C-alpha cells in the first residue's frame, strides 16, 4: 500500500512540474519594464511595482489620435468582455503618450466611450512627455514621439502581454487582433 501511495505522489509531482512553462521558450519577447510613476483615470497614483504580481496587457494610446487609437481601445474593450466570459483574470493598462492633453478626466471619458470597465483597466497619464517616450523606447523597444508640427504621435500599435515586470509577447492591436491566442496565453500564465 505504501508503494502505491508513494508512486501516486511521484506521478502527481511529475504532472505538476510538467504544467509549469518555460517563459523564454513559449513567448517571443524577454524584456523588462522600467520604473514609471503615473496617475490613472480616477486620479490615483500608480507605479509599475503595482503590477508586479499581476498578468497584464499594455497598450499605448492618446485621445486625440485620428487613426489607430480608437480601434485599438475598442479591441481592448472587446478583449475585456471575452476575458470576463472566459473567467480569465488580467489587468489592462493603456499608457497615454500625450500626457499634456490626456488628463485623468479626459482618459476616463475616452474609456467610457468604449465601454471600459475600470475595475481592471487603468488609463495612465501624469508623467512628462519625455518620461513616456523613454519608457516606451526602453521597456518595449517601441517608438513614442510627437510628430513635428502636428498634434499626432508615433507609437506602438501592439498589445503587450506582461507578467509582473516582464514583457513576454506582443500582438496586433489594430486589424487582426488574436483574441483567442491572447486569452490562451494568459491562461498559461495563471
Q: Could you list the residue range(s) of the whole structural domain that residue 88 is in?
A: 23-189
Which CATH number is 160's domain given? Answer: 3.40.30.10
Q: Is residue 15 part of a domain?
A: no
Q: Considering the entire predicted model, what is its pTM?
A: 0.87
Digit-coded pLDDT (tens) for 155-178:
999 999 999 999 999 999 999 999
Q: Is residue 181 part of a domain?
A: yes
pLDDT of residue 161: 98
> Minimal CA–CA distance to 162: which of 34, 20, 16?
34
Q: Is residue 16 part of a domain?
A: no
Q: Is residue 2 part of a domain?
A: no
Burial of 52 from C-beta contacts in 10 A (0-12 / 13-18 / 19+): exposed
Q: Residue 75, annotated ligand binder?
A: no
Q: Is residue 118 part of a domain?
A: yes
Reported confidence tier of residue 189, pLDDT bands at 50, 70, 90: very high
pLDDT of residue 69: 96
Q: Give residues with Cβ within 8 angstroms of 90, minimum separation 6.
A: 54, 55, 56, 57, 83, 120, 186
- Number of folded domains in the chain? 1
- Confirm if 38 and 127 have CB atoms less than 8 A apart: yes
Inter-axis angle of helices 179-189 and 69-86, nearest 10: 50
Using alpha carbons, list the distances in angstroms from residue 147 to 91, 134, 144.
Answer: 30, 16, 10
Reported confidence tier of residue 24, pLDDT bands at 50, 70, 90: low
Q: Is residue 7 part of a domain?
A: no
For the chain, the average pLDDT equals 90
Q: Is residue 104 part of a domain?
A: yes
Half-sphere exposure for 32 (CA within 13 Å, toward CB):
3
Amino acid at each position: 500500500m505504501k508503494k502505491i501511495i508513494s508512486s501516486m505522489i511521484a506521478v502527481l509531482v511529475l504532472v505538476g512540474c510538467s504544467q509549469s512553462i518555460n517563459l523564454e521558450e513559449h513567448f517571443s519577447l524577454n524584456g523588462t519594464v522600467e520604473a514609471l510613476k503615473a496617475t490613472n483615470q480616477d486620479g490615483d497614483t500608480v507605479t509599475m511595482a503595482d503590477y508586479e504580481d499581476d498578468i497584464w496587457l499594455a497598450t499605448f494610446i492618446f485621445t486625440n489620435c485620428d487613426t489607430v487609437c480608437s480601434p485599438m481601445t475598442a479591441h481592448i474593450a472587446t478583449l475585456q468582455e471575452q476575458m470576463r466570459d472566459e473567467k480569465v483574470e488580467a489587468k489592462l493598462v493603456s499608457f497615454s503618450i500625450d500626457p499634456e492633453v490626456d488628463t485623468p478626466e479626459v482618459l476616463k471619458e475616452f474609456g467610457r466611450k468604449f465601454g471600459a470597465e475600470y475595475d481592471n483597466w487603468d488609463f495612465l497619464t501624469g508623467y512628462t512627455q519625455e518620461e513616456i517616450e523613454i519608457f516606451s523606447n526602453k521597456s518595449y523597444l517601441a517608438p513614442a514621439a510627437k510628430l513635428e508640427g502636428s498634434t499626432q504621435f508615433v507609437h506602438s500599435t501592439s498589445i503587450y502581454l506582461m507578467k509582473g515586470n516582464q514583457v513576454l509577447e506582443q500582438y496586433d492591436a489594430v486589424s487582426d487582433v488574436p483574441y483567442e491566442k491572447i486569452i490562451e496565453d494568459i491562461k498559461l500564465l495563471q
